[in-house]
């Protein structure tokens, strides 16, 4: 275990045990309508004796559940008991992860060629696929879990023959169901864009060939189109298969354009591809149709150096440079002409969320990325129409992703609450924070019994 002293080191230190279930004392007052489970996912432990994970994205998955009901709040935290987790706890570096290689031998090299030693550490997001609650990753199959107890289930088996491969942990919900892709690397690599059917099969709605596929962390969708963006951060499929490097170290920056693919959700027309300037993004924000264009909002960078800046030895020491980090809007013509860019906010931010009910979301909620000792130092609400912003901030606190939860009896994108976990560096403990979405004024907080991982992404599943 790494000794932690600075705020950055503490944020990226190890959580080593399951927690709870335990009732949390509430300071302030929770909205009386807030009932349901806020379930989060993300990495929590990086050091396992001889096994030392190298990147933030490599840490072992830890599910967190905050259960709201009748003014009470209960917390549970559980590691996902994957095969990768079992191997790490036994000191075996058997699985190739995002940025940490497996132990090398001829046997492990051969396993790498056949992809049997790819990690099953589903540490990025959660979703509901039909009746299944699943934890998601971008380089393997989803993992089922019990949404009440967080107990680990089996890997999800889709009722189709698309197989597994690189994907995103950010499926997008459309009127016709969940949409995502599976990358099929090889001599004729392609992105198979699919919609999840009610019977559990993934029905391909488009296949996009790519000689040197890009790293694609998320997708977007408007009412008419799914949006897949290929940044000039690409890999050679044969070199990946034969080289034995961890996943992300096969990708290299280079090229003079980004390709933005519009995929007709009906599957009745071929994809339209537009070019844009070279840029990189992890997270789409939202998308909507506007006449003969699709408007795509995302958090973008000028290059992909942020991926390297999130190696643990770097992110524990200093703030990412993150060149060009900004909230951006791209207008993507449906006729294939070049996309154009507008900057909506130059404030550094990440992990953006919106009111997913809105056809044209106006407000974006996101942690503000720090430039000093704090990894993050506030939560923003950005008005994409007026360019105004509000901020929640508290001394010595670093918040994670803030999700908007609508008031079931309310109306509008700010009638609700924003929920997030914040780490207090001075107190060396974490709290769940609830703020009024309209004002970002804090309504309530509940201190956890231990320091919690900042995590990646979460969802609120209401019980009303």
pLDDT of residue 116: 56
In whole angstroms, give the CA distance from residue 100 to residue 47. 12
Q: Residue 231 half-sphere exposure, CB side, CA atoms within 13 Å?
A: 22
Domain annotation covers residue 93: yes
pLDDT of residue 258: 98
Q: What would the pLDDT profile of 69-87 be if each residue is shown by its tens digit?
A: 988 999 999 999 999 999 9
In whole angstroms, give the CA distance from residue 206 to residue 187. 19
Confidence tier at 240 by pLDDT (50, 70, 90): confident
Domain annotation covers residue 224: yes
Average pLDDT, the chain: 93
pLDDT of residue 106: 42
pLDDT of residue 135: 98
pLDDT of residue 7: 87
Compute the C-alpha angle 130/135/140, nearest 5°: 105
Structure tokens at 76: 């549970």
Q: Write out the E strands in 248-393.
A: 252-253, 258-264, 272-276, 280-290, 293-301, 326-333, 340-345, 363-369, 376-383, 389-392
Task: Give 56's contacts (C-beta < 8 A, 6+ positions apart).
Answer: 12, 43, 310, 311, 312, 315
In whole angstroms, give the CA distance from residue 407 to residue 413. 10
pLDDT of residue 114: 45
Q: What would the pLDDT profile of 353-376 be if each residue is shown by its tens digit?
A: 999 999 999 999 999 998 888 899
Domain annotation covers residue 164: yes
In whole angstroms, give the CA distance from residue 308 to residue 299. 17
Confidence tier at 238 by pLDDT (50, 70, 90): confident
Q: What would the pLDDT profile of 123-162 be if each residue is shown by its tens digit?
A: 999 999 999 999 999 988 999 999 999 999 999 999 999 9
Domain annotation covers residue 208: yes
pLDDT of residue 70: 85
In whole angstroms, give the CA distance from residue 344 to residue 423. 28
Taking residues 381-409, what's their average pLDDT? Answer: 96
Domain annotation covers residue 248: yes
Other residues' Cβ atoms within 10 Å of the Cβ of residue 157: 11
How many domains does the chain contain in total?
Answer: 1
pLDDT of residue 376: 96
Domain annotation covers residue 148: yes
Confidence tier at 241 by pLDDT (50, 70, 90): confident
pLDDT of residue 111: 46
More reliable by pLDDT, 237 or 228: 228
> pTM score, two decimals?
0.94
Percent of the chain's residues with pLDDT above 70: 96
Q: What secondary structure letter does DSSP report for 232?
A: S
Taking residues 326-342, what's their average pLDDT? Answer: 98
Domain that holds residue 164: 7-462
Other residues' Cβ atoms within 10 Å of the Cβ of residue 429: 15
Q: What would the pLDDT profile of 22-34 be if each residue is shown by its tens digit?
A: 999 999 999 999 9
Q: Write out the E strands in 2-131.
A: 19-23, 26-28, 36-41, 43-45, 47-48, 51-52, 60-69, 72-79, 125-129
Bridge partner list, 144: 134
Domain annotation covers residue 428: yes
- CATH number for position 162: 2.130.10
Domain annotation covers residue 379: yes
């Amino acid at each position: 275990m790494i000794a932690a002293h600075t705020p950055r080191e503490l944020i990226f230190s190890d959580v080593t045990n399951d927690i709870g279930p335990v009732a949390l004392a509430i300071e302030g007052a929770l909205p009386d309508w807030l009932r349901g489970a806020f379930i989060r996912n993300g990495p929590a432990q990086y050091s396992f004796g001889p096994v030392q994970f190298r990147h933030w994205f490599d840490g072992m998955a830890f599910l967190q559940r905050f259960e709201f009901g009748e003014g009470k709040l209960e917390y549970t935290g559980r590691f996902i008991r994957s095969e990768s987790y079992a191997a790490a706890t036994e000191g075996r570096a058997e699985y190739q992860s995002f940025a940490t290689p497996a132990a090398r031998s001829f046997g492990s090299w051969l396993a790498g060629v056949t992809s049997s030693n790819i990690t099953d550490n589903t540490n990025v997001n959660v979703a509901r696929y039909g009746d299944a609650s699943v934890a998601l990753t971008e380089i393997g199959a989803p993992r089922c879990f019990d949404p009440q107890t967080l107990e680990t289930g089996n890997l999800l088996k889709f009722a189709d023959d698309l197989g597994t491969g690189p994907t995103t942990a950010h499926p997008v919900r459309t009127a016709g169901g969940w949409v995502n892709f599976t990358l099929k690397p090889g001599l004729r690599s392609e992105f198979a864009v699919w919609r999840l059917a009610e019977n559990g099969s993934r029905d391909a709605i488009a296949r996009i060939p790519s000689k040197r596929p890009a790293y694609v962390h998320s997708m977007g969708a408007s009412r008419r189109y799914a949006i897949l963006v290929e940044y000039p951060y690409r890999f050679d499929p044969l070199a990946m298969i034969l080289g034995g490097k961890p996943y992300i170290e096969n990708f290299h920056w280079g090229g003079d354009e980004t390709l933005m693919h519009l995929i007709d959700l009906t599957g009745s027309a071929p994809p339209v591809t537009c070019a844009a300037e070279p840029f990189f993004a992890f997270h789409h924000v939202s998308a909507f149709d506007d006449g003969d264009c699709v408007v795509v909002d995302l958090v973008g960078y000028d290059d992909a150096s942020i991926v390297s800046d999130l190696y643990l030895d770097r992110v524990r020491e200093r703030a990412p440079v993150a060149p060009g980090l900004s909230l951006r809007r791209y207008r993507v013509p449906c006729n294939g002409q070049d996309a154009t860019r507008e900057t909506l906010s130059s404030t550094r931010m990440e992990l953006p969320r919106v009111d997913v009910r809105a056809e044209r979301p106006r407000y974006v909620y996101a942690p503000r990325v720090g430039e000093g000792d704090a990894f993050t130092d506030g939560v923003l609400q950005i008005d994409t129409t007026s360019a105004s912003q509000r901020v929640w901030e508290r001394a010595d606190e670093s918040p994670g992703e803030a999700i908007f939860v609508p008031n079931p009896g309310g109306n509008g994108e700010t009638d609700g609450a924003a929920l997030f976990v914040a780490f207090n560096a001075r107190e060396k403990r974490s709290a769940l924070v609830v703020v009024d979405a309209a004002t970002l004024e804090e309504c309530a907080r509940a201190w956890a019994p231990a320091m919690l991982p900042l995590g990646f992404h979460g969802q609120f599943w209401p019980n009303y």
